[in-house]
Structure formats: C-alpha cells, structure tokens
A and B are shown apart, each in its own frame.
Chain A
Amino acid sequence: MTTTATTPSPVVNRIGLSRAEYTGSSSTLCNGCGHYAIANVIIDAVYSLGLDPTRIAKISGIGCSSKSPAYFLGRSHSINSLHGRMPSIATGATTVNKDLIAIGVSGDGDTGSIGLGQFKHLIRRNVDMVYLIENNGVYGLTKGQLSATADLGQKQRHGGLNEIPPLDLCLEAIIAGCGFVARSFAGDPKQLQMLIKAAFSHRGTAVLNIISPCVSFNNGEGSTKSYVWGREHELPLHEINFIPLEHDQIQVDYEPGTIQDLAMHDGSIIRLKKTDQEYDPTDRMAAISLLEEERSGQLFTTGLLYINEERKTAVEREKLVDQPLVHLPSQLLRPPRLALDAVMADYL
C-alpha cells in the first residue's frame, strides 16, 4: 500500500488554528480514565477536520462523561445540563440554530438508564448531531453503582452479582431508527478518531457507543468495560478511513474487492477496508443480527455498524427559513400592526 498525501503543514489546520486552540481546561478525571482519552481524540478529530470551534456546541447531561466537555474545545460553547436530559437540550438548541455543529457527550447511566427515553426520541426525530456515549458500565461520580449496560455477573458494590442483562445501546439506537451507529474503544484512538470524523459528516443523529474504562470502579479482571478486555477482545469490522471533501483525495491502491466506499451527503467518503469478516454496514438487519449474536457471545465488535443517510433530519422536517432562527431580526419575528388589526377584525 502506498500513500501520497498533500496535507498542509501540521502546525495549523485548514482554518489556520493550532491544535492548542482546540483544547480545554485541565482534566479532573481520574488518571487513566477512558473519558480523557476520548477527549483527546475529539480534539484531534475536530482539529484535523478543521472545524470552526466557535460553531460547535457541546451538550451534556450529568456524570463523569458529561463533565468531560470542559476538557476539550475550550472555544466552543458548552452546556452541562441535567441527568439524562442532554437530548432535549440538543433538540432545542439545534432547531433554533441550524448552523451549530452539535456534539453531545453522555454516559451509560445518562443515556441507558435515566435518559433512555430522551435518547430514543432524539434518534426518532433524527436530530442532527454527534452523540457520544462514554460507556463504562458504572456510575463513577457516585462511586461505582451499576448502570443499565453493566455486564451480567458484574460484581455489585455491596455484594452479589448483577443478574439483569445489559442494554446494548447500539442495538437500541438502530431499533429507534438511527442512521449512524458505531462502536469503538477508548483504547483504539486511531479507529475512534476516524469514526468521530465520519460522525461529524453524517446527516442526522450519529451515535458512537465507546467503551471507556472506569479505572476506579470497573477496570477489573473479567469486566467487558476494562482496558485489558478491550485490547484482548476487540474485533474491528474493518479498517476505517475518513476522507473529508475539503482535503485532497488520498490515493491508495487496494486489492480489488477489499474496499467499500460510503459516499456521505456532504461529499466526504468513509472508506472501509475489509477484514476477514464479511460485513455490509448499510444492511440494517445484518447490524441487528450481529448485535444479537454478540449479546450471547459477549463479543466486542467495533467499527461502523450501520449507516443510512436517507431519513430527513429534525430541522429539515420543520421547513424553516434559511437563516438560523436565532439570527432573525425583530421585524421578521413580530408581525406588523396591520396583521394584528386583521386578526382583530376576524373576531369582531
């Protein structure tokens, strides 16, 4: 494989910003926390895409994951809202300002337990945003209680083993109608970065369920949310590459039949290099079958599980004026005096 790339000098990106201009405040997460690794991957992804940080809105709920937007993209507005309610905030904010690039950061408790309803309704509406679930199977900030994604047999804090099967948030997303569902691992920054980049290009809700080990409460032997498990069991569906429209095309020579190019609505391309597995991420039933099989086998498949950009987004359905609603001047918001007179005349 030979690669000839003409990418610009790494000091600044295509909009002239350095990587430092995409960082946040220093982390207060535990040393080695998966969430912090993800924060760094987000910085890399957004920097290398050359997105304008002032156009990005970071939206989160409550929990360790939801605190993490403080640690990346310091030039982006951020709202750390209520537990399980990030989706509704995102729906309101993106509807009134469709120019915003929204990234939601949530956890397994925030999304799978208290916020499951809002998660599924956000997807049902197809709110245009990147939705990251930093999944560690436990509540970290309250010291290790189990969430809805905890493993069967996971040790409970005050004795006993978990007997309730976990929810697979990727499966939940696909069933709710999500058009971009991926799973990744905080310990695989290369794949994660490509998936995050692709998610920003997706038209509609893009859900990334990222296994993000909790070093304090759920990183032990046997935990499917641990670094060790992840490294030993990760089964990438494909090698993923994201080719943004703005960049010069990367010329790669591949063996015939080993490549699947997915053209995104914005002109960018997701290029999947096949592994041993035969898998087509545009096949919804295949994705569901794969995830069902995984549930019984405790497998850890990563990569782009499902993609479909056909569904209208929440904002597209609203038939809004071109300008974002928040930028409309007063004269377009308050109808003129004559309009009120006419309404009054109808009643008289």
Chain B
Amino acid sequence: MQCIVRTFVKGTGMIINDFSITIATVNGAGSQTANNTLLRAIHKMGVPVSGKNIFPSNIQGLPTWFTIRVSKDGYLGRREQAEVVVAINKASILEDIQTLASGGICLYPDDLQLPISREDVTFYPMPVNELVKQSGAEARLKPYVANMVYVGTLACLLAIDLQEIESALAYHFKGKQKALELNFATAKAAYDWAQVHLVKTDPFQVERMNRTEGTFLIDGNSSAALGAVFGGVQFVAWYPITPSTSIVDHLSEFLPKLRQDAEGNASYAIIQAEDELAVIGMVVGAGWAGARAMTATSGPGLSLMTEFAGYAYFAEIPAVIWDVQRMGPSTGLPTRTAQDDILAAYTLGHGDGRHVCLIPGSVAECFEFGFTALDLAERLQTLVIVLSDLDLGLNLWPTKPFDYPEKPLDRGKVLSADDLTRLQGEWQRYADVDGDGVCYRTLPGTNHPAAAYFTRGTGHNQSAGYSERPEDWSANLARLAKKHDHARTLVPAPIVDLKDGAEIGLIAYGTSDSALQEARDLLQAGGRATSYLRLRALPLESQLAEFIKKHKRLYVVENNLDGQMRALIQLHVPSDADRIVSIAKCDGLPLTARWICEAIKAHEAKEQP
C-alpha cells in the first residue's frame, strides 16, 4: 500500500496552492534573490510557503536546486517530487525533467536543447537571452537579471501577483532604487511576454489566502543569533564552518545595532579564532571569568572541541555551543542536512559525563533557545549544546514574530565579595549547599581574600583542592550525575499531542517535525491514529517515559542512519526498549512525510499483518 500524497491528471481542474516548484540552476549564478522573491511574494499572498536550498559544497559551477513548497494546508516539509521545474542548468536538465511529477510543467531557456521530452509534461520556453538583452543591464549584472525572467514567467503562469513580486524585490534591495527598477522591469517584461506568447495548459495556480498574516520568513541561524543577542551574549569565538557560519554573520550584524552604546563601544566581543580548539578554549575562558559565552560550529568543529567539552563539564564552567548539524562522518557532505550528532554531542568528551542539549524544532525555538541556552549554561554551570541542523539553520521558514523573553537573565549561583563577607569567607567551590548538585562559584577578580579557588580538570575535593582520594572522585561524579538529573527538570519539556485511542506513539525532534506532522495526517487519512511527542532537549525526562507507557507501538523518527535518539530512549526506558522502533534515514536531504508514512506502515504491517 502506498501513501497517496496526491495525483495529477492533465487537464482535470485547477490545482490551487498545493504544489512544489524546483528551480534548477548552477551554483554561483545569483539565483538567491530571484528564489527568495518568489517565496516572499507567495507568502505575502497569504499562502503558506517554505523554501529549501539543496546546494553543493562549491562556490561556482555545480548544480543547485531551490524548492519552493506551496501548501494551502501549511505543510513545510520536503516533498520528493516537484510539479513545476525551472530547468536552467544544462548539466542537470535531463535529471530535472526525468524526476518531474507526472502532469507537471517545465520552464526552460529557449536556447537550451531539451535532452528528452515527456508526453505527460508541459514545456514552456522562456526567451531569456532576448529579454536580458532588452533590459540593457551591464555585463556583470546580466546573470542576475536573467533570473528575473523565470520570476516573471512563473508569476504569469502561476498567477503570482506582480505587485507582490515588486514589493518582494523592494524588500530585498532595501532602497536601492536602480537595482529594483532593473530587476522588476525584466520580471515584468517576462510576465508580459508570457501573457502574449504562452498558452497555459497546466493546472497549477497560486490564489490569495489569509493564512500567513502577521507572519514572516526567516532562517534558523538568523533566529539563533537574534536569540543570543536578547540572551545577553557577551563573548563569541568562532571558526568558519558550513552550515553554522551564518549564525556568527548574523551576530555580527545584530550586535552592533543592538548592543553598542552612544559612542559605538561594544558590550560584547566577537573573535575569529585560529581553529576550533582555540574557539572552545576562549569560550570556556570567558565563561570561567563570568561572561555569557558561545560559539557556533558543525560536526568537524564539534569533534575538535571534545576535550574542552569534558573539561567544561567536569570543572563546571558555563559555555554554549550551537552545533548546526550537517552530514558526517568526517567531512561528509558539508552542505547537506542531518540529525547525526545526537550521540556525539550528548556524550562529548572522554570518561563519564553527559551534556545538556537543546533541540529546536522551529525558527521560533531557535530564537528562544538562543537565550535559554545561555541561561541554562549559567544556571547549571556547564556546557550546553544546541543541536540545530542545516535545514533549519539555512532555509527560510514562516513564523509569527518572536516573543520577548519573559524571564530575566539567569546568571546562576555566583557569590559576590559582599556575599563572601556575609559568609565570613566560609565557602567551598564544590559543596552541594542547595542539594540540587549545582554549587556556588566566584568569579576571577572578586575583591575578597577568600574568593579565589583553583579550577582544574584533575580530581578535586569540595574545596577545589587536588585530590586522588577514591571517595572524593566518586562523590564528585555522583554530584555531577545529580546535577544532570536536576537539569532534566529545567530543560524545555517535550511537546505532546495525545490522540484518544491511538496505539501508535510517534517520537521525533528538530526539523523532522515538519515532515512528521504531515505524515500523521497521511496516516490518519489511512485510518491510523497516532499520538506525537516532540523532544526538545536532552537529558530525557519523565513525560517521555509516560508517553511510552501509554502507547503500544513506538516509532522514533530521525534523520540519521543509526537511530541515535532511539538508542538514548532505549537506555532511558530499558524495560520498554524492545517496543521502540527506529524510523531513521540519512541521505543528505530532510525527511519527507511520504517516506515516514510508508516506513511506519511497513512496520505496522509486520506487527498486524
């Protein structure tokens, strides 16, 4: 049995606001403006839309695909097939036509020889060269202007409001009137040409709705940066690595605007380090000195930070790492997405120890976890790793405006010189005074003779003295485990949607959420009710165990091969381990609803033939 997403038969009525557009171009051809213009124009027409850039690890020359999903139902996940293809890249055009959905349409530059034809596809040529020539654009701008031809042609064929195209271009060019005029004139020329010369025989159309009012499009990395700014980040060290770099790019954009005084002096510092070993050293050094410090990296960078991660855990120093996950192992596919650092991040470092990990599932959560991570790091005096991914970090997602943080900054348990005077200098760095495993610290520079202590990664007793005594070692590790248990009560709780009578419990996290929500609808349409728990953090907590008890069959859906989260869940609820099935896939692309649905149905068929 197949999961039927939709069927198309040529000429049978219109398909409104429910299709995907893939723009197949050459990397470095400047198509981003054109693609984001289409995306924003459709969004402004009130139609839910999302965009995914599937790009190569290359600056210029290799094929790249941008997919716009138009979904009246608000589904944001990836689909395997597009109904509309703009085939501009000679190198990929054969594959682009072959993979087009039956009943779909293909737009192509009229000077490009079509390698094959398909009976079930409508082909529309576009006079790209002619219109670019007419635009009068200077040579260096021609490739950009050329992209406006497909914008205008698509606008005509799909009934995208030309005024929204103009507004979107105006938004993009931010007051650069000449650029706006040149680009819009070409889009308009293409629109006009299409109206005269093309006969529309396909069913795809965009129609105004009111489902996007008050929302906007933003990527996860911008959202994360903004969240950190509103979380009072004071220190950022970093080393360039795809796909995390734009977090720091956006920090470098937001911080000067939002965190400088009247004289232009900064309440933050950003340092590009020589490598990730130095990055994490600087972050830990800043955290030790009492600053809210963070970095952004991806798999290989995270690997280099391993030794310091264990140090921060054991010496109890606040630090935040944003890991925007990409495909590993090794260099892997640097520009493709995955959820594959779950186990590595949770247990990063040698010896015993586990880290608090936050897993945002939306751009709004990227913003929220931007400040939550800094709060938790200081509250728990430990390393907090935020596990985003390329799909969330780099692609545009619709969202409501972010909520201003309600709680004040949580600076954790820090003793000032006055506190020490009140305590008559009596304190111990690693004494569990409050019974939650979190001890009090002092910051370097605290002006009190009893303030200083010796921070070390070697064995230590309660007063931070060097100790090799077995009792000291085990007491310390036991307290750290207790602190980790305390963290379970502080991390963002899972989002649970229980369906009455559902025997199936679905568990997912991060960006898999978008495909999973759609998969639930598909399963429901096929008569299978499901409950859903979306994890938002590690360590795992009690709601998960309750959810597992409530359901007969459990599926953990994730974008890696090994079923990494499933393994952690099995350890969390060992008595239920054999009921927990892994629905895991990793091919560099975000999961699709159809694949999830089919994989679950295949398992269900085994369970209940």
Q: Chain A interface (Cβ within 8 Å of chain B)?
A: 21, 25, 52-55, 57, 59, 69-70, 74-82, 85, 87-97, 99-100, 117-118, 121, 125, 318-322, 324-326, 328, 330, 332-335, 337, 339-341, 343-344, 347-348
Contact = CB atoms under 8 A, between A and B. Distances in A.
A100 B281 contact: no
A57 B457 contact: no
Nearest to A318: B269
Interface residues of B, number: 72
A85 B291 contact: no
B70 interface: no
B289 A92 contact: yes
A337 B285 contact: no
Contact of B451 (A54, A81, A339, A344): A54
Given A96-B269, A96-B290, A326-B234, A117 B274 contact: yes
B226 A89 contact: no
B529 interface: no
Interface string B273-312: 1110111111111111111110000000000000110010
Contacts of A95: 235, 269, 271, 282, 286
B289 A81 contact: no
Contact of B455 (A80, A87, A344, A348): A80
Contacts of B289: 57, 92-94, 96-97, 100, 326
B288 A85 contact: no
B117 interface: no
Nearest to B281: A88
Contacts, number: 210
B160 to A, nearest CB: 20
B473 interface: no
Interface string B405-448: 10011010000000000000000000000000000001111111
Contacts of B452: 53-54, 74-78
Interface stretch (B50-58, B259-267, B555-563): B259-267
A53 B450 CA distance: 11
A347 B218 contact: yes
B288 A344 contact: no
A89 B288 CA distance: 9
Contacts of B258: 335, 339, 343
A92 B282 contact: yes
A74 B230 CA distance: 37
A203 B448 CA distance: 26
A319 B265 contact: yes
27 contacts: A54-B448, A54-B451, A54-B452, A55-B445, A75-B451, A77-B444, A78-B453, A78-B455, A79-B285, A79-B455, A81-B285, A88-B237, A88-B277, A91-B271, A91-B278, A91-B282, A92-B282, A93-B285, A94-B289, A118-B277, A325-B269, A325-B291, A326-B443, A334-B230, A337-B404, A341-B401, A347-B217
A92 B266 CA distance: 16
A334 B410 CA distance: 12
B109 interface: no
B456 interface: yes
Contacts of B254: 343
A21 to B, nearest CB: 8
B8 interface: no
Contacts of A322: 265
Given A75-B452, A96-B235, 14 more contacts: A54-B447, A54-B449, A54-B451, A57-B444, A74-B452, A87-B278, A91-B237, A95-B282, A319-B265, A325-B235, A326-B234, A333-B234, A334-B405, A343-B254
Interface in B374-411: 401-402, 404-405, 408-409, 411
A264 B273 CA distance: 29
B278 A325 contact: no
B268 interface: yes
A80 B307 contact: no
Interface in B326-353: none
